[in-house]
Structure 1
Amino acid sequence: MRDALAHLGQRWRQSLQLRVVTTTMLLGLLVVSALGGVLYQQIARGLESDKIDTSQSEALALAAQAQTTWDNSTATSVDDLDQAARDIMTRLLAAPGSNPSRYVVMSRSVGNDSDIVLATLRSGVLDLSVVSPELQAAVAASPGRQQTQMSEVTLGGENLPAFIVGSVVEVPNAGPYDLYFIYPLGQEVATMDLITNSFVIAGLTLTLLVGAVAWVVTRQVVAPVRRAGEVAQRLSAGKLNERMPSRGEDDLALLATSFNAMADSLQSQIRQLEGLSAVQQRFVSDVSHELRTPLTTIRMAVDVIHDSRTGFDHSVARSAELLAGELDRFEELLADLLEISRFDAGAAALDVETVDLRSPLRRVVEATRPLADRRGSVVTLHVPDEPAEAEVDERRVERILRNLVVNAIEHGEGRPVDIHVGVGSDAVAVVVEDHGVGLRPGEAANVFTRFWRADPARARTTGGTGLGLSISLEDARLHHGWLQAWGERGVGSRFRLTLPQRAGATLHGSPLPLSPNEEP
């Protein structure tokens, strides 16, 4: 059931047509229910009012007929009076045009002190028990007026509402007697049940018809929008020649025409950008390769000059040292540009093998120790006892780690640098943490941008090219991994590298936290 509910919820979120049709049907059902309720109440009140008026008129006429019969009666004894009462009861039931569902009860009035007591009569299953004491008291208090009451009676095991009309007749020698006419509303209840069933069937049918109409109407609108979404997905997948079919001259046709015009414009601009990007990549690649030949010659000449600097004047010897250092930086920049051009061209590939990340980390820490000593930073490696193995390209991963450690030392301002290694169920992670200047809000997203510097006025002391972190990010993405940065001004920075243990696997989390205050 949970799966079914989840599928239904997903379908509800994804289908505009389903939401529109369902909402229309619900609103239609609400309107039909409200209208049916109002009509039901009006019909019920009309039937009840008509029944009351008819019953009162009939009861008044029958009570007058009964009084006339009593006035003309010559009976004096109890037996004769009882017989006369039974005869009158029979005439009342057989009166022309009378209601066949009417019940009549005659009983001695409250306060009648005559010595002659007649038997209480009833015309059917209903007797004096259905008449409330309040109605009996009201009839006795106002013998010249009809008294009415709505009550409930039981007929055939079914509870029905009933209208009771009470009046008083004077029996010769026996005093006042109450005459009650009981009118069960069984026919009216049956009529209202029929009307209710008709309303329900008509309401459901109308709701379904409204839903069908809404489905047809929304399909005419949703289908082109759905086609536009499918075409947009294919465009985003790189199929730039996809277009929407356009028919007619209505608003949807205008949408299709505008969408196709937008797609044409995007295709043209993307092709222009691809052309410019290809030219740029070719330029960088060609320039980098072309510079290698003269750079080799310059390197040979600089090495000869640098080796002979002891015989030069002090200023010339210093110039030779500066020339050699800047040439080293130029060669590093050239190598980084070539690597970036490979990433841009999509030519970078992995040479995957199972590697314990503790080994390249130890090599990186040892290689950067002279730089750390010069900067006054102590690099501490925190590694677990268990192997931190992953299927990676060791050369690229070691380059990432070296860039991160060098960056931490350079910006650590002589404070300690800590390197943490974590192993999870399906991933390994390395966090390089410094306690230097840190990063301002928003700078963590810019540190991997090519040639970006947090402080442009800050001089590079380690000969960096400005491409190290960019290359590291591309290397991490090539492994389907994450390279993330966190920093706080005056607290320091943390860089986290997370790699899947299996090549090509998808990461779902990292065994180490990115910031000191969060869980991994």
Structure 2
Amino acid sequence: MSVKGRDELATLGRSFNEMAASLQDQFERLNGLSKVQQRFVSDVSHELRTPLTTIRMASEMIFEARGGFDAGTRRSAELLHTQVDRFESLLADLLEISRFDAGAAVLDAEHLDVRAIVRRAVDLAAPLAERMGTLISYVEPTEPCRADVDPRRVERILRNLLANAVEHADRNPIEVVVASSESAVSVSVVDHGIGMTQRQTEHVFDRFWRGDPSRARTIGGTGLGLAISLEDARLHGGLLEAWGRPGVGATFRLTLPLRAGVVIDSPPGPLERAHEDVEPVPVRHGPSPAALPELGDL
């Protein structure tokens, strides 16, 4: 504010300017701290790769020789092998998150039929679902659903969504539904397991967040899968949405524009499911602030 004179309004103006300067200083400090934190995560993740490679080589040798060990040592070798795998996955996810934070993630888009990517992801998830006592069914349009997508990133999103569904399905079936419109293609992953509350739905894409800390992971994710999936969807200019109800199940819907730069107004795939109680508000994560459309029953 421009300040002139020495009256009460001038004093108020000086106070306002001092407050604004203080806030600006705090913003700059927080921004600098955020950049330092991002750089720290990136640097540490890169530096850990070399010792992890050595640990990996040693653990592989021990794991391959486990047949000659006693029961206790053999079990330790198996645990070491499993935890090194998990450590590698966590490190890879941290590196990917650091690329998103630094704005260095690049979309390698191709004009492809999304149905082929979904089929491949379902085929990869089927053995895991079978081991967990869950069946995955798949519905797709008869016509091709071609869009400008990065197949590696889209498949990674779908693998994360399917693994999450298998983890929480409680041996109930899982449906994967592909739908398309004139501007977008959607993939909905629907489970009928433990479900989510509205609060859990709002935080499900947060990094390292767990809806029920007391619930043991049976698959062993890193806690970053859904956060990375959200960033991958945003990189496409798409949406990643979640809906849930305790005891009914959960639905995750990925929607991608057919062409880069197209604004998604009405995602074609299912999200909400009818229930005798009042439906919770689904949560949309993506670049478009438009309100969610009303969707038919699944």
Give the TM-score normalised by the residue count of structure 1: 0.52
Note closer, same or farther for the CA distance 1:371–1:266 as it changes in structure 2 (3 Å cut): same
1:506 to 230, 250, 263: 263
Give the residue type in structure 2 aligned to 1:375: M
Aligned-partner Cα distance in 1 for 2:222–2:199: 22
Does residue 189 of structure 2 align to residue 413 of structure 1?
no
* Contact preservation (8 Å) 1:419, 1:432: yes
Give the residue type in structure 1 aligned to 2:82: G
Does residue 248 of structure 2 align to residue 458 of structure 1?
no
* Contact preservation (8 Å) 1:418, 1:434: yes
1:458 positional shift: 1.1
Give the residue type in structure 2 aligned to 1:262: M
Aligned-partner Cα distance in 2 for 1:249–1:432: 66
Give 1:519's aligned residue: 295
1:302 to 59, 69, 72: 59
1:257 positional shift: 3.6
Give 2:190's aligned residue: 433
What whole-Å deviation, never above 9, does each CA across 1:206-258 have from its counterpart, x for those lacking one? Answer: xxxxxxxxxxxxxxxxxxxxxxxxxxxxxxxxxxxxxx433345666556444
Structure 1: give runs of 5+ residues left out of the alignment: 1-243
Aligned-partner Cα distance in 1 for 2:132–2:61: 30
> Comparing 492-501 with 309-318, which one deviates more in the overlay?
309-318
Higher-Rg structure is 1
Number of equivalent positions: 277
Does the residue aligned with 1:247 lie in a helix, a strand or coil?
A: coil
Note closer, same or farther for the CA distance 1:391–1:253 as it changes in structure 2 (3 Å cut): farther
Structure 2: give runs of 5+ residues left out of the alignment: 275-293
What whole-Å deviation, never above 9, does each CA across 1:413-451 have from its counterpart, x for those lacking one? Answer: 111000111101111111100000000132111000111
Aligned-partner Cα distance in 1 for 2:119–2:7: 70
Q: Equivalent pairs: percent with the same residue?
A: 60
Does residue 146 of structure 2 align to residue 389 of structure 1?
yes
Give 1:205's aligned residue: none
Give 2:128's aligned residue: 371
Does the residue aligned with 2:242 lie in a helix, a strand or coil?
A: strand
Does the residue aligned with 2:198 lie in a helix, a strand or coil?
A: coil
Note closer, same or farther for the CA distance 1:362–1:269 as it changes in structure 2 (3 Å cut): same
Give 1:488's aligned residue: 245
Give the residue type in structure 1 aligned to 2:76: S
1:352 to 109, 121, 130: 109
The root-mean-square deviation of aligned C-alpha atoms, in Å, is 1.6
Give 1:170's aligned residue: none
Give 1:401's aligned residue: 158
Give the residue type in structure 1 aligned to 2:235: L
Aligned-partner Cα distance in 1 for 2:72–2:132: 26
Does residue 48 of structure 2 align to residue 291 of structure 1?
yes
Give the TM-score normalised by the residue count of structure 2: 0.89
Note closer, same or farther for the CA distance 1:321–1:265 as it changes in structure 2 (3 Å cut): same
* Contact preservation (8 Å) 1:352, 1:503: no
Does residue 231 of structure 2 align to residue 474 of structure 1?
yes
Runs of 4+ displaced beyond 4 Å:
248-256
Q: Of Structure 1 and Structure 2, which has the larger fraction of its residues in helix?
A: 1
